[in-house]
Structure 1
Amino acid sequence: MPPALYLLALAVFAMGTSEFMLAGLVPDIAAELGVEIASTGLLTSAFAIGMVVGAPVMAALARNRPVRASLLGFLAVFLAAHIAGAVTGSFAVLVATRVVAALANAGFLAVALSAATSLVPAGQRGRALAVLLSGTTIATIAGVPGGALLGAVFGWRVTFWAVALVCLPAAVGVLAGFPARRHDPGTPGPDLAAELALLARPRLIAVMLLAALVNAATFGAFTFLAPLVTGRAGLGELWVPVVLVLFGAGSFAGVTVAGRLSDTRPGGVVAVAGPLLCAGWFATAAAAGRPVILLVLVFVQGALSFAVGSTLITRVLYESAGAPAMGGSYATAALNIGAVVGPVVAGVALGSGLGSLGPAVSSGVLVAAALLLAAGCRSVLVGGSRPPVPAVL
């Protein structure tokens, strides 16, 4: 894999850390800015909504610009938003910076998902995507706990500065990996209407829905692991970061292994790992009172979740190969619709009679729904036909 791809993953790491880091910073932010802790939930909601809306909108705006300029522009906006967040004394401004950062994050990821495939030979799109998404998994292993530690020792503002700092070497990767190409005014850019028309294709809709369901299960269970650990498992609060790191380590393992199979055997990955993932969420709920088994299951579920999830995101890219500018945004939207819907469903389950077991059970149900859908449209999971890599440069 080319070095520039790993530096793109570094940017994804910074953005993933930013997306999830607030979980450990909320009390300090609320206290310093004089707002109720419940109100700080707006920071998370603003980021999630910005990601879902931003993916297609930002990709559409960037479609006529060179990839290098687009990636650098999104990185610059993301960096500036974190600097503004680090220095502001206004909660309203902080919320606004989260929206802006999410829009930049969504735009960067939408362009990067397509651009990364141009750095590798045809047929290695899944491996390139695995490297890119490893930035997100490493964010859960190191970025989020590291951000919480920085916030605890130096204050929450230092965490924002740290995220901004990590963007700098990522910008070097963009400069090194993509040539500077000027857009010729006489050459029309991609036909937006034609690319949007692909969304009417049943195959693309099906695989996007599959990806959204599996990722909804992943983010729903991940968001509410803490109540399961401290509640039914009876472990202390210090075990929560340990469990999150275990899930992140499993995620990294899963996306790495699946990256070598998702190009050629996507159906096999889903057929084998999908049922195991579904059963695993129900097993997590059933074994929650046994800490040792729970810890093992958390690692396994992290691996299975990202193995299946990343494979489905890869299929979105294959099915949208006719949309060189917008294809990455379709994959980003599928991923983030899951990230928005999953915690909502899991939150409802948490408030039900199932209590802390609810999120794991709801994740099992979501994966079961995805498997039923996959059984009815197995052709979209066949990796035999590989469309050409989009010429995004």
Structure 2
Amino acid sequence: MSRAWPAALVFTTFTFATDDYVVAGVLPEIAAALRVSEAAAGQLVTAFSLAFALAAPVASVVTATWPRRRLMFWALLVFTGANGAAALATSYAALMGLRVLAALAAAAVVPAAYAIATSLAPEGRQGRYLALVMGGLTGSLVLGVPIGTWVGGAYGWQATFALGALMGLISLVAVMATLPDAPAQPAMPIRARLAPLGRAPVLAGLFGVTAIVLGSMMVMTYLAPFLRDLAGTGPAELGVVFAVAGVAGLAGGQLGGRAADRWGADRALLVGVTAFTVVMAAFVACWLLRPLPLLGLLPLLLVWAVASWWIPPPAQARLLALAGEAGPQALALNSSAVYVGVSAGGALGGLLIEGYGPGALPVGAAAAELVALLSFWWASRQSQAAGSAASERTRSGSAPVAT
């Protein structure tokens, strides 16, 4: 088996995340060229995210029995073609349709990439392989989006989509050259495949994932006004903060994955949420002492970034364990839960700022992470209780009952 397949999957998730977020960097150019408002151009990002969130669970079920290499090939081919056509689009409607098409292709690939990583990972290393593939998402914010924005500024917004098509093509070649033919799921009725996803522990785990992302994005989305009022941070300094935080986030994701493998998902999750909550408490204290120098806040910002990206890998590993044989479908719903969390974090963070000011953001974020931890704790308790009940029925000789 080629050892390069993880890198191919990382670059693939990097490509998709870059393609989603980079539009924000060339919004004025797109709006001017297609003669629409910047608000309307911004809906290109919304449409991509919404299409992905809705399509990922459906695609996971529909393609469950497809050979993984075949699925990746066709989806990446569609993604590459959609971006190539977007570079030639001359109307807003056409560009919107092509963005939705690219999102549908991404929705088929990203959950499959997570499922492939867990199925091919060496024994005891699922957490770090999940973190590795997830690193493509973090890397897109640090490297992909800035590069795509620069390309658009230097050569026009069409070049940004041409870059997306090129990255899609590179992903396709890399996946086909390195990915072993990972087995698809055995054929079974759709109802049977979906049944485990209706279990209370799985639903609680998905709610926990949404709360985790909500808490993190509540701060990330409004970091600019928070640091402006806390330390007088301007756009130039904020760019440096985002870059440094992105690098720290990459490290945090890898550390969280390794911790999930070494300590177990529950303990790793507890450590990450505890660290996040402590940092939020420190931010509240800093707010009360404002203004403070940005340099003095940098260590806290680094710990915040590490903790924010530490948490998702053990959360995903725990969700996989809760879902059992429906793991691939749970990972697809996980992707949808992430997008719901991103949207809700921005909305709730905005309400907090309007009602109480930026200083309320750390309080809301910490509360969301604690809710997530309670959700996973409850899910674990319910799963253990169901397992104990099943074992008891087996010992007593009675027929097992589905939980």
TM-score, L = length of structure 1? 0.88
Aligned match of 1:389: none
SS in 2 for 1:321: helix
The 1:199/1:234 distance shift into structure 2, 3 A limit, reads: same
SS of the equivalent of 1:121 reads coil
Question: How many residue pairs are counted as aligned between the two chains?
Answer: 379
Q: Which position in structure 1 is the counterpart of 2:282?
A: 283
Report the CA distance between 1:60 and its aligned residue: 1.9
Q: Report the Cα offset of residue 307 of structure 1.
A: 0.8
Identity %: 28
- Does the CA-based 8 Å contact 2:320-2:327 persist in structure 1? no
CA distance in 1, matches of 2:304, 2:230: 18
Contact 1:126/1:259, CA 8 A, preserved across alignment: yes
Q: How does 1:77-88 map to 2 (within 5 A)?
A: 77-88=78-89
* Cα contact 1:109–1:328 (8 A) shared by 2: no
TM-score, length basis structure 2: 0.86
Per the TM alignment, residue 312 of structure 1 is displaced from its structure 2 partner at its CA by 0.2
For 1:260 and 1:285, the matched residues in 2 are separated by 30
* 1:2 pairs with 2:7: no
Instruction: Write the distance in 1 (CA, Å) between the matches of 2:175 and 2:222.
Output: 35
Unaligned runs of 5+ in 2: 388-403
**Secondary structure of 1:64 counterpart:** coil
Partner of 1:294: 297
- Give the superposed CA RMSD: 2.6
Deviations 1:99-156 (A, max 9, x none): 2222221211111111112222232211210110011111111111222222222222
* 50 and 360 in structure 1: CA distance in 2 versus 1, 3 angstrom threshold: farther
Return the match for 1:351 from 351, 354, 370: 354
* d(CA) in 2 for partners of 1:265, 1:254: 16
Larger radius of gyration: 2
Answer with 253-262 or 286-295: which moved more. Answer: 286-295
User: In the alignment, is the contact (CA less than 8 A) between 1:25 and 1:156 conserved in 2?
Assistant: yes
The residue type paired with residue 143 of structure 2 is: A
Judging by fraction of residues, say which structure has more helix.
2
Q: Take 1:255 and 1:366, find their aligned partners in 2: how far apart are those partners? A: 19
Structure 2: distance between partners of 1:251 and 1:171: 27
1:73-104 alpha-carbon deviations (Å, 9 max, x no partner)? 22112222222222212122222222222222
The residue number in structure 1 matching 2:313 is 310
- Deviation, structure 1 residue 163: 1.9
Within 5 Å, which residues of 2 pair with 1:69-218?
A: 69-179=70-180, 189-218=187-216
Task: Indicate whether 1:331 and 2:334 are aligned.
Answer: yes
* CA–CA distance in structure 2, aligned partners of residues 233 and 24 of structure 1: 25
Asked if the contact 1:259–1:311 (Cα under 8 Å) also holds between the matched residues in 2, the reply is yes
Tell me, which stretches of 5 or more residues in structure 1 are unaligned?
A: 386-393
Q: Please report how far the alpha carbon of residue 178 of structure 1 lies from its aligned counterpart in structure 2 after TM superposition.
A: 3.6
CA 1:324–1:207 in 2, change beyond 3 Å: closer, same or farther? closer
| 2:267 counterpart letter in structure 1 | G
1:69 deviation in Å? 0.8
State the AA in 2 paired with 1:47: F
- Whole-Å Cα distance in 2 between the matches of residues 77 and 327 of structure 1? 24
CA-to-aligned-CA distance 1:37-91 (integer Å, 9 cap, x gap): 2222312221221121011111122123111111112211222222222221212
Query: Which sits farther off after the overlay, 168-177 or 13-22?
Result: 168-177
Quote the Cα distance in structure 1 between the aligned partners of 2:27 and 2:281: 30
Q: For 1:89, what is the secondary structure of its paired residue?
A: coil
Are the aligned partners of 2:214 and 2:365 in contact in 1 as well (CA < 8 Å)?
Answer: yes
Compare 160-169 and 283-292 and name the one that shifted more.
Answer: 283-292
Question: Are residues 41 and 283 of structure 1, via their aligned partners in 2, closer, same or farther at CA, if it must alter by over 3 Å?
Answer: farther
Task: State the AA in 2 paired with 1:3.
Answer: A
Given residue 334 of structure 2, which amino acid in structure 1 is its aligned partner? Answer: A
For each residue in 1:241-297, what CA deviation from the matched residue of structure 2 results, as whole angstroms up to 9, or x when unmatched?
222212211210111111112134222212222122123234335536431233333
Residues 266 and 318 in structure 2, CA contact (< 8 A), matched pair in contact too = no
- Residue matched to 1:55: 56
Cα distance in 1, alignment partners of residues 382 and 88 from structure 2: 48
User: 2:341, 2:111 → 1: CA distance?
Assistant: 16
Tell me whether 1:236 sits opposite 2:229 in the alignment.
no
Q: Using the alignment, how far apart are the partners of 1:173 and 1:26 within structure 2?
A: 30
